[in-house]
Amino acid sequence: MLKLRNSYTNELETFVPLDPSGRDVTFYACGPTVYSYAHIGNFRTFLMADLLRRTLERRGYNVRQAMNITDVGHMTHDHLADATGEDKLSKAARELGWDPHEVAAHFEEAFVADAKKLRLRNYAGEGADADNRALHPRATDFVPEMLAMIQRLIERNYAYVDSAGQVYFDISKFPEYGKLSGKILDDLVSGARVEVRDEKRSPRDFALWKVDAKHLMQWDPHHAEGWRGDGFDRLKKLVPGGVDKRVGKGFPGWHIECSAMSNACLGPVIDLHTGGEDNVFPHHECEIAQSYGARTDEDAPKSFAKNWVHGRHLMVNGAKMSKRDGTFFTAREFFDPRGCDRDALADELSALGFADGNVPPNVLRYALVSVPYTQPMNFSLTALVQAKASVERLQSLYDRLQERAGADEKTAPDAEFAGQIAKREAAFDAALDDNLNVSRALAALFGFVSDCNARELSDADTRVALDFLQGADDVFDVLDHSARSGIITSEQIGAQETPAVEELAPLLSGELGEAELLRLLALRAAARRDRDFATADRVRDGIRDAGFDLDDVPQGIRWKRRD
């Protein structure tokens, strides 16, 4: 049974889905604010959500995960519930001299590219279309839903409108405010003393809808003008009587966005909600208050998410990431440091053994997921070197097993070896079940690697070993699954229809895999039969130049990718 520490109750709880059939799980992960490239601390949090999702999937649950894109309303001073400062998107737009929609589109695209490289299943998995707004809700696409929720909060007296047309949540109506973060309301009052607006009933109240004539993105709740797409029509359908006339032209606060998008994409109550520990207060505390206030059913739970999971911070070399100290890293700066103007970083990484100074995305993924989310992570370049060695160890075993996979389905594996693997697998699962203890899960996995390396494996042993390794990699996802070596048998070559010589050049210039190699080898065999040695040599040299070694073995030809 999977147990998770629920930040809401602060207890280690057995995970039980809300779905009575016990199969479907709804999961909202707070996503990026797209005003800059996501850094490795952001990705640590997103990868924690990914690891949780994959663990649930390994348990057989059908996970519906939504991860939002915030492209409006996230203010610079976001440690305050009623955040002040400047909209992060507007600030970036001003600094870059772009339109805020352009800023959002640019950094959203960059985020999707990074997320795919880091194999976030919500982006890189089956059916994870980046344009699917139910999986990747974008704040500016859900303004009608936000206004509909705000309207409900006004009608239910959880919110009030000031003379400027701004809407505030009235904290006094929700005594549970503070339960998630453990904050005492008096602290909140003193914390919120900065910039108290005159018309706020209490300094703790926070804005749901902001009015500011200078803001670059604006929506008028009462007129179609300025709305993009079918937004205004949708608003009219959602709020047939119209939004409260006092509400002015403005933009949503960051907190209401997640409440509205979670409700729109997953329903009013959900199983899981994740974020970084800095989201606990104020962001998630406010989400809870808003989502409850907007509910009309008597027995609505106080927290719309049953389980809250928060990941701890990432630090670099023992301190907060800092641009001035050169310890602030975006993910893409590791993928291609020279392309990101970080030549010194590239040199340092080259010296540490990274080819061209580039860190493969699967190595960065491993480094970021291999520390339990319950602990702060102290990132360093040494951690990347260790991650690289670990991934290579797994990969080399995988390649060795893969090479023999499929052979001999009839014999049974060695009973003792099979028992050893079953124990490792049980330890692996027990560790993940224990609040995602990845350290122990990886210890079990590497114990298994040692088991495999310590003995001569039969084909049948290979089969059970590969099963476990592939299953474990469904969770960690760090392996390169394209086969790196294999044997093409003489029978396979003989059974191929001989390709025409004209196919040779296009085959060699494309991506070479096992299927292409088979065709090339069939072509070579035919050329040899016809005593056309020039063509046979062209095939052989072409394959070698494409990065493969060929060896004759009794069954046929063994091929191997050179690294």
CA 2 and chain centroid, separation: 20
CA-based nearest residue to 332, from 131, 121, 54, 107: 107
CB of 279 to Zn ion, least distance (A): 6
Quote the CA–CA distance of 389 and 66 in Å, as a whole number. Answer: 33
Span interacting with Zn ion, options 95-103, 203-211, 257-265, 534-542, rule CB under 5 A: 257-265
Distances (CA, A) of 194 to 84, 188, 212: 9, 11, 18
CB of 219 to Zn ion, least distance (A): 19
Which letter, b or e, does each residue of 13-35 get, where b requires 16 or more Cβ atoms within 10 Å of its Cβ? bebebeeeeeeebbbbbbbbbbb
User: Strand, coil or helix: what is 4?
Assistant: strand
277: which DSSP letter? G
> Toward Zn ion, which CB reaches closer, 89 or 488?
89
Q: Is 81 in the site for Zn ion (CB under 5 A)?
A: no
Q: Please enumerate in sequence order all residues whose Cβ is within 8 A of that of 279, keeping only pairs 6 or more positions apart, or say none.
A: 30, 310
CB of 49 to Zn ion, least distance (A): 12
> Toward Zn ion, which CB reaches closer, 276 or 337?
276
Span interacting with Zn ion, options 27-35, 330-338, 430-438, 551-559, rule CB under 5 A: 27-35
CB of 276 to Zn ion, least distance (A): 10
Taking CB under 5 A as the criterion, which residues in 289-308 touch Zn ion?
A: none
> Toward Zn ion, which CB reaches closer, 66 or 369?
66
Span interacting with Zn ion, options 240-248, 256-264, 444-452, 459-467, rule CB under 5 A: 256-264
Span interacting with Zn ion, options 16-24, 162-170, 228-236, 253-261, rule CB under 5 A: 253-261
Number of residues that bind Zn ion (CB under 5 A): 2
> Toward Zn ion, which CB reaches closer, 180 or 527?
180
Peptide bond connecting 203 to the previous residue in cis, omega within 30 degrees of 0 = no
CB of 275 to Zn ion, least distance (A): 6
Which letter, b or e, does each residue of 82-102 get, where b requires 16 or more Cβ atoms within 10 Å of its Cβ? bbeeebbbbbbbeeeeeebbe
Structure tokens, 343: 């030549």
Q: Residue 317 is which amino acid?
A: N
Span interacting with Zn ion, options 28-36, 140-148, 216-224, 399-407, rule CB under 5 A: 28-36
> Toward Zn ion, which CB reaches closer, 28 or 329?
28
> Toward Zn ion, which CB reaches closer, 139 or 557?
139
Look up tokens 């001989």; give the residue.
Answer: 498
CA-based nearest residue to 146, from 256, 255, 222, 241: 256
> Toward Zn ion, which CB reaches closer, 30 or 488?
30
Distances (CA, A) of 407 to 239, 334, 460, 552: 63, 39, 8, 18
User: Strand, coil or helix: what is 184?
Assistant: coil
CB of 288 to Zn ion, least distance (A): 12
CB of 56 to Zn ion, least distance (A): 20
Q: Which of 29, 167, 258, 543 touches Zn ion by CB under 5 A?
A: 258
> Toward Zn ion, which CB reaches closer, 310 or 342?
310
Distances (CA, A) of 153 to 159, 335, 379, 420: 5, 45, 43, 58
Q: Residue 113 is which amino acid?
A: A
CB of 285 to Zn ion, least distance (A): 11
* Contact predicate 335/359, CB 8 Å: yes
> Toward Zn ion, which CB reaches closer, 30 or 522?
30
> Toward Zn ion, which CB reaches closer, 250 or 282?
282
Write down the H helix ranges in 87-222: 88-96, 100-117, 121-124, 143-155, 185-191
Structure tokens, 242: 């119209």
User: Strand, coil or helix: what is 434?
Assistant: strand
> Toward Zn ion, which CB reaches closer, 183 or 332?
183
* Contact predicate 412/460, CB 8 Å: yes
Quote the CA–CA distance of 427 and 60 in Å, as a whole number. Answer: 18
CB of 133 to Zn ion, least distance (A): 16
CB of 518 to Zn ion, least distance (A): 50
C-beta atoms surrounding 450 within 10 Å: 11
CB of 483 to Zn ion, least distance (A): 41
> Toward Zn ion, which CB reaches closer, 77 or 223?
77
Span interacting with Zn ion, options 140-148, 230-238, 255-263, 488-496, rule CB under 5 A: 255-263
> Toward Zn ion, which CB reaches closer, 26 or 395?
26
- Burial (CB < 10 A; 0-12, 13-18, 19+), residue 133, is middle
Taking the CA atoms of residue 280, residue 284, residue 285 and residue 287 in that order, the dihedral angle to the nearest 10 degrees is 180
CB of 283 to Zn ion, least distance (A): 6
C-beta atoms surrounding 469 within 10 Å: 20
Span interacting with Zn ion, options 22-30, 161-169, 260-268, 473-481, rule CB under 5 A: 22-30
> Toward Zn ion, which CB reaches closer, 258 or 512?
258
Contact string (CB under 5 A) for Zn ion, positions 201-240, x = contact: ----------------------------------------
CB of 204 to Zn ion, least distance (A): 20
Taking CB under 5 A as the criterion, which residues in 30-69 touch Zn ion?
A: 30
Look up tokens 């809250």; give the residue.
Answer: 308
CB of 1 to Zn ion, least distance (A): 28
> Which residues are near Zn ion by CB under 5 A?
30, 258
